[in-house]
C-alpha cells in the first residue's frame, strides 16, 4: 500500500479530490488532501497567502506521514509540490504532475502560462490588484475547467471556487538537482485541457522530462471527468515506486 498526498490547484480546495480519495482509501491506501491556505475551508487572509505558505502547509502534511509519499499536484499545484520537494525531498517517493505547471529553477506560474495564447483561463481572468486576488469570469469556468464533467459535478465545483491570491502566481520556484531535482517525476497529460492546453503541457515536459508520461483523453479536471483512468495512473506510480 502507498501513501498519497493530493494537492489542488488555483481557486479549488481539497474537496476536488473527494472521489479519488475515497477510491484510494477503499483500496487500502493512506490519503491526505489538504486545503492550501486561503482555499476550501481554510480562512487564511489573502494578504498572508503566498507560495511559501503553500509549501509550508504541504511540508506539514508530509512530515505527518509514516513513509515517503506519492505527492500529486493538479494545475497550480505543480508549482506547489515542486516548492515542497525542494524542502522535503526525503519525504517524497514520487512527484505526479496532473495537467500541472512543471517549473524549472526560477520559473513562476505566470511566466509558464504567459506564453500560451490558447488557454481559456487568461482571457477570462478578472484581476483585482487592490484586493490581491483573481477570479475567473462565470462564462469561462466550465469551458476552461469542466468541459467533460457532468453538469452536476461542474455546478457543485463552481459553487465552491474561491478567489485566488495573486502572490503564488508570481513567486519564483527554487529547484536544485540535489533536492527537488532528485525526486522521480511523472506527468499526466490531458488531451482536451483548455486551462493548461496540451501544447503548453508538452513544452514544459520537453524542458523538464519526467520518468513517465500518462495520457488521458479528458479535460482539466480528471478527478471528476475520468476518475477510473486517473486512479489507474496513480496506482501505477505507487507500484513503480514501491518496486
pLDDT digits 0-9 by tens, 135-188? 999 999 999 999 999 999 999 999 999 999 999 999 999 999 999 999 999 999
Contact residues for 73 (Cβ-Cβ < 8 A; gap 6+): 7, 9, 79, 80, 81, 82, 95, 96, 97, 98, 100
Q: pLDDT at residue 221 above 80?
A: yes
Per DSSP, helices labelled H in the chain are 18-26, 51-63, 77-87, 109-114, 138-145, 151-160, 167-170, 198-207, 222-225, 227-242
Q: By three-state DSSP, how is residue 127 classified?
A: strand
Q: What pLDDT does residue 243 have?
A: 66
Length of the chain: 243
Mean pLDDT of all residues in the chain? Answer: 97
Q: In terms of C-beta density within 10 A (0-12 exposed, 13-18 middle, 19 or more buried), how is residue 139 classed? A: exposed
Q: What pLDDT does residue 35 have?
A: 98
Q: For residue 214, list its beta bridge partners.
A: 188
Banded pLDDT at 235 (limits 50, 70, 90): very high
Of the candidates 2, 75, 119, 221, the residue annotated as catalytic is 75
Global pTM reads 0.98
Banded pLDDT at 209 (limits 50, 70, 90): very high
Burial letters 22-36, b for 16+ CB under 10 A, else e? ebbeeeebebbbbbb
- Residue 238 has which C-alpha cell? 505507487
Mean pLDDT, residues 100-108 taken together: 98
Q: Which DSSP category does 132 fall into?
A: T
- Residue 230 has which C-alpha cell? 486517473
Longest dimension (CA), the chain: 51
Q: What pLDDT does residue 117 have?
A: 87
What's phi and psi for 242, nearest 5 deg? -85, -20
Q: What pLDDT does residue 108 have?
A: 98
CA dihedral 164, 197, 228, 154 (to 10 degrees): 50
How far apart CA 200 and CA 105 sit, in angstroms, is 18
CA angle centred on 188, ends 138 and 26, rounded to 5°: 90
pLDDT tens figures, 18-52:
999 999 999 999 999 999 999 999 999 999 999 99
- Residue 83 has which C-alpha cell? 516548492
Please give the domain boundaries of the chain with CATH numbers for all domains: 3-242 (3.40.50.1820)
Q: What pLDDT does residue 115 have?
A: 78
pLDDT tens figures, 112-149:
998 788 999 999 999 999 999 999 999 999 999 999 99
- Residue 55 has which C-alpha cell? 509549501
Q: What pLDDT does residue 116 have?
A: 87
Determine whether 2 is an active site residue.
no
Q: What pLDDT does residue 242 have?
A: 79
Contact residues for 43 (Cβ-Cβ < 8 A; gap 6+): none
Amino acid at each position: 500500500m502507498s501513501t498519497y498526498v493530493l494537492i489542488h490547484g488555483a481557486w479549488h480546495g481539497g474537496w476536488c479530490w473527494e472521489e479519488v480519495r475515497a477510491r484510494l482509501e477503499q483500496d487500502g491506501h493512506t490519503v491526505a488532501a489538504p486545503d492550501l491556505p486561503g482555499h476550501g475551508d481554510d480562512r487564511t487572509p489573502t494578504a498572508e497567502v503566498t507560495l511559501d505558505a503553500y509549501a509550508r502547509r504541504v511540508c506539514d502534511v508530509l512530515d505527518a506521514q509514516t513513509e515517503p509519499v506519492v505527492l500529486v499536484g493538479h494545475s497550480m499545484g505543480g508549482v506547489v509540490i515542486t516548492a515542497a520537494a525542494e524542502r522535503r525531498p526525503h519525504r517524497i517517493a514520487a512527484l505526479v504532475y496532473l495537467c500541472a505547471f512543471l517549473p524549472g529553477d526560477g520559473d513562476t506560474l505566470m511566466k509558464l502560462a504567459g506564453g500560451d495564447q490558447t488557454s481559456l483561463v487568461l482571457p477570462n481572468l478578472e484581476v483585482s490588484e487592490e484586493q490581491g486576488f483573481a477570479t475567473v469570469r462565470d462564462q469561462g469556468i466550465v469551458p476552461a475547467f469542466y468541459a467533460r464533467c457532468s453538469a452536476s459535478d461542474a455546478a457543485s465545483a463552481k459553487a465552491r471556487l474561491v478567489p485566488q491570491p495573486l502572490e503564488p502566481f508570481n513567486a519564483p520556484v527554487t529547484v536544485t538537482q540535489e533536492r527537488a531535482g532528485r525526486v522521480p517525476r511523472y506527468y499526466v497529460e490531458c488531451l482536451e485541457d483548455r486551462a493548461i492546453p496540451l501544447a503548453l503541457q508538452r513544452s514544459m515536459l520537453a524542458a523538464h522530462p519526467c520518468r513517465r508520461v500518462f495520457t488521458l483523453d479528458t479535460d482539466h479536471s480528471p478527478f471528476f471527468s475520468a476518475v477510473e483512468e486517473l486512479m489507474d495512473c496513480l496506482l501505477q506510480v505507487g507500484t513503480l515506486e514501491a518496486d
